[in-house]
């Protein structure tokens, strides 16, 4: 058995499925390109039947992919599979991934008997294989499926031509010993199992997704399904960065390799956090802000003497630049270019020009511009295609009330101004936006965090809003928290306007459900 573990990334499908994580078309293309560049073997780019948008994204990612196999998801029916094939067929290496829920609870949804479902699996996998040489089949909720039935349907799928069998722990229920055992027993029991690849797909409801995925590899799985930052429904999926770094750092006891260039991890993690609106928790393994921070005196002392005292991997292994001197208002374009390149951003001249203008503005307000400030700056939306833009904001707040916001926006090219009051400066400013840009969206989340230390630090604000089932997230950073809040709110609003025009809603209500097999 080979020691290479294939990395199957489903950030753009299972990850994007988390309520609120919906990405724009351009963002999906960008993330797919970064995944391809970092050496992901298979990119699950979306669920083509779910919407025109998903279909378009999977097709375009397929056409652009350089190395990665591009995969689309399809339920167990011919219409889904045909649509999926239409989207992935232009890829150099296409894959159809078809699935059906096989546990008793899941069988009840389409109301199929065991025999009827077995026949459905045979027919749909055969159909997919007639279209594409590379077919993945998943028995959804495999870890809660009766053992005999699981063996039976896996054998049917292999005989019908599936080249990869994925064993999902859909509800994050399994534990590491079971995860290893299940794969091992399937390989030893099911006829034909030695000729195909087994994959593991774990959800993190009990916080065991990474451990379960690694255990499955020990049991014989050679494909791990995962997402960047562990993005995904409920508690998320297995985090790519965790399994890849665990296999690298503990290669002594897990002698497996992946093709991932780990130095690209931080960059893609930041990007996925920014476009999904799901910030990474500070103490998240590998990519959290504190993952390589050593605060306590005893730790710092140890680190100064020998880094290995408290570090099992180097920050540079995951693409974190070593701490270097901050830039300031006298730093020139060349210094900025050098620093950005150190942080992994190689910019074209026109992009640099734009970032330089914003850097100077920030340096005027903030004495020292740190790496994290620059990253926030680079990811700041240029606003060129926005319907709504912030022109000016003046807020009166403090103990004397009323809290008032005077706001001027540019809405589709025309300047509009208003004043509004509210419970605090942010509420007043948001009320002013609402008065100028009419909408029924409900604010679901409002989150502020400091990019760096100090009272002049930039605040990063994330907002999530929902209107008629459409969810949009927005982010922004500024040294003024209220300005950052309004920019983030406007960012989300602009996305909502695009979504209204496309008439696309979130995944859950896109008009498909797992029921329509
Ligand atoms: O969690 C799951 O079961 C899935 C399947 C569609 C593979 O995401
Ligand atoms: Zn899943």
Distance CA 396, CA 268 (A): 39
Q: What number does the ligand 1 atom closest to the CA of 14 have?
A: 8
Q: What number does the ligand 1 atom closest to the CA of 73 have?
A: 6
For residue 30, what are the contacts with CB-CB under 8 A and spacing of at least 6? 271, 275
Cis, bond preceding 402 (omega within 30 deg of 0):
yes
pLDDT reading at 157 higher than 60 = yes
Identify whether residues 148 and 108 lie together within a single domain: yes
Identify whether residues 221 and 106 lie together within a single domain: yes
Identify whether residues 338 and 403 lie together within a single domain: no
Question: How many domains does one find in the chain?
Answer: 3
Identify whether residues 146 and 178 lie together within a single domain: yes
pLDDT reading at 394 higher than 60 = yes
Residue predicted with more confidence, 337 or 56: 56
Identify whether residues 119 and 268 lie together within a single domain: yes
Identify whether residues 226 and 365 lie together within a single domain: no
Distance CA 84, CA 98 (A): 9
From the CA of 103, how far away is ligand 1's center (Å)? Answer: 13
Identify whether residues 39 and 186 lie together within a single domain: yes
CATH number, domain containing residue 178 = 3.20.20.70
Structural domain includes residue 46? yes
Identify whether residues 154 and 40 lie together within a single domain: yes
Task: Ligand 1 pocket test: pick from 76, 99, 204 the residue with the most ligand atoms within 8 Å of its Cβ.
Answer: 99
pLDDT reading at 474 higher than 60 = yes
The pLDDT, as a whole number, for residue 506 is 38
225 lines ligand 1 (CB under 6 A): no
Residue that the structure tokens 């730790």 belong to: 299
Mean pLDDT value of segment 512-516: 52
Task: Ligand 1 pocket test: pick from 140, 202, 238 the residue with the most ligand atoms within 8 Å of its Cβ.
Answer: 140
Contact between residue 474 and residue 278 where contact means Cβ atoms under 8 Å apart: no
Identify whether residues 114 and 200 lie together within a single domain: yes
Identify whether residues 356 and 408 lie together within a single domain: no
Half-sphere exposure of 48 (CA within 13 A, CB side): 29
SS3 of 226, please? strand
- Structure confidence by residue, pLDDT tens digits, 241-282: 999 999 999 999 999 999 999 999 999 999 999 888 888 998
Half-sphere exposure of 421 (CA within 13 A, CB side): 4
Q: Whose CA is nearest to atom 5 of ligand 1?
A: 140
Distance of CA 402 to CAs 397, 427, 484, Å?
7, 12, 21
- Structure confidence by residue, pLDDT tens digits, 5-27: 999 999 999 999 887 777 889 99
Count of C-beta atoms within a 10 Å radius of residue 141: 21
74 lines ligand 1 (CB under 6 A): no
140 lines ligand 1 (CB under 6 A): yes
Mean pLDDT value of segment 446-458: 79
From the CA of 266, how far away is ligand 2's center (Å)? Answer: 23
pTM: 0.84
Contact between residue 403 and residue 428 where contact means Cβ atoms under 8 Å apart: yes
From the CA of 516, how far away is ligand 2's center (Å)? Answer: 17
Q: Closest ligand to 166 CA?
A: 1
Q: Whose CA is nearest to atom 1 of ligand 1?
A: 170
Rounded to the nearest integer, the mean pLDDT of the chain is: 90
Nearest Cα neighbor of 163 from 98, 249, 89 is 98
For residue 385, what are the contacts with CB-CB under 8 A and spacing of at least 6? none
Packing angle of the helix pair 25-38, 265-276 (nearest 10 deg): 160
The pLDDT, as a whole number, for residue 296 is 53
138 lines ligand 1 (CB under 6 A): yes
Domain that holds residue 351: 325-369
Residue predicted with more confidence, 66 or 459: 66
The pLDDT, as a whole number, for residue 513 is 57
Q: Whose CA is nearest to atom 8 of ligand 1?
A: 14
380 lines ligand 1 (CB under 6 A): no
The pLDDT, as a whole number, for residue 476 is 85
Structural domain includes residue 195? yes
Distance CA 200, CA 5 (A): 11
Q: What number does the ligand 1 atom closest to the CA of 140 have?
A: 3
Bridging pattern class, strands 69-75 and 94-101 = parallel
Measured on CA atoms in the order 485, 491, 495, 501, is the torsion positive or negative? positive
Nearest Cα neighbor of 41 from 95, 109, 113, 96 is 95
Identify whether residues 116 and 232 lie together within a single domain: yes
- Structure confidence by residue, pLDDT tens digits, 133-156: 999 999 999 999 999 999 999 999
Question: Torsion over CA of 179, 318, 376 and 290, rounded to 10 degrees?
Answer: 70
- Structure confidence by residue, pLDDT tens digits, 304-350: 667 677 679 999 999 987 656 778 888 888 888 888 887 777 788 88
Helices (H), 281-410: 297-305, 333-342, 349-365, 371-378
Distance CA 403, CA 510 (A): 40
The pLDDT, as a whole number, for residue 295 is 53
The model's confidence at residue 507, banded by pLDDT at 50, 70 and 90, is very low
Mean pLDDT value of segment 37-49: 98
pLDDT reading at 384 higher than 70 = no
pLDDT reading at 385 higher than 60 = yes
């Amino acid at each position: 058995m080979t020691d290479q573990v294939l990395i199957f990334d489903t950030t753009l499908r299972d990850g994007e499925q988390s309520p609120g994580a919906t990405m724009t078309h351009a963002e999906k293309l960008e993330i797919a390109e970064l995944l391809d560049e970092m050496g992901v073997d298979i990119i699950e780019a979306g669920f083509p039947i779910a919407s025109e948008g998903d279909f378009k994204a999977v097709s375009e990612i397929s056409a652009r992919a350089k190395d990665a196999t591009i995969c689309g998801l399809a339920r167990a029916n011919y219409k889904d599979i045909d649509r999926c094939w239409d989207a992935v067929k232009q890829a150099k290496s296409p894959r159809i991934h078809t699935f059906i829920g096989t546990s008793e609870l899941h069988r009840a949804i389409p109301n199929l008997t065991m025999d009827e479902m077995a026949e459905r699996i045979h027919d749909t996998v055969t159909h997919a294989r007639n279209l594409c040489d590379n077919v993945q089949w998943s028995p959804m909720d495999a870890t809660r499926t009766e053992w005999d039935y699981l063996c039976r349907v896996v054998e049917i799928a292999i005989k019908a031509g599936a080249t990869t069998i994925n064993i999902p722990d859909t509800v994050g229920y399994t534990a590491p010993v079971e995860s290893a055992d299940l794969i091992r027993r399937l390989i030893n029991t099911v006829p034909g199992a030695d000729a195909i690849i087994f994959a593991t797909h774990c959800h993190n409801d009990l916080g065991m997704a990474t451990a379960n995925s690694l255990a499955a590899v020990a049991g014989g799985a050679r494909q791990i399904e995962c997402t960047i930052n562990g993005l995904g429904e409920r508690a998320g999926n297995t985090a790519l960065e965790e399994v890849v770094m665990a296999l690298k750092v503990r290669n002594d006891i897990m002698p497996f390799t992946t093709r991932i260039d780990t130095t690209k991890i931080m960059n893609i993690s930041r990007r996925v956090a920014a476009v999904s609106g799901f910030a990474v928790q500070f103490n998240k393994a590998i990519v959290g802000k504190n993952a390589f921070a050593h605060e306590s005196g005893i730790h710092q002392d140890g680190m100064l003497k020998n880094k290995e005292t408290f570090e099992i991997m180097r920050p540079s292994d995951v693409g974190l630049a070593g701490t270097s001197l901050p830039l300031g208002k006298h730093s020139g374009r060349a210094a900025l270019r050098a620093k950005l390149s150190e942080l992994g951003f190689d910019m074209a001249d026109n992009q640099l020009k734009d970032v330089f203008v914003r850097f100077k503005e920030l340096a005027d307000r903030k004495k020292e511009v740190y790496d994290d400030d620059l990253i926030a700056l680079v990811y700041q939306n240029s606003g060129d295609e926005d319907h709504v833009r912030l022109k000016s904001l003046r807020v009166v707040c403090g103990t004397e009330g009323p809290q008032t916001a005077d706001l001027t926006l540019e809405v589709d090219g025309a300047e509009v101004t208003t004043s509004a009051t509210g419970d605090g400066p942010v509420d007043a400013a948001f009320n002013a936006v609402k008065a100028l840009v009419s909408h029924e969206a409900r604010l679901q989340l409002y989150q502020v965090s400091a990019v760096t230390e100090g009272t002049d630090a930039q605040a990063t604000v994330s907002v999530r809003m929902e209107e008629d089932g459409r969810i949009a997230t927005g982010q922004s950073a500024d040294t003024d928290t209220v300005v950052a809040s309004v920019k983030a709110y406007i960012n989300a609003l602009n996305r909502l306007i695009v979504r209204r025009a496309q008439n696309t809603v979130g995944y859950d209500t896109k008009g498909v459900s797992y029921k329509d097999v």
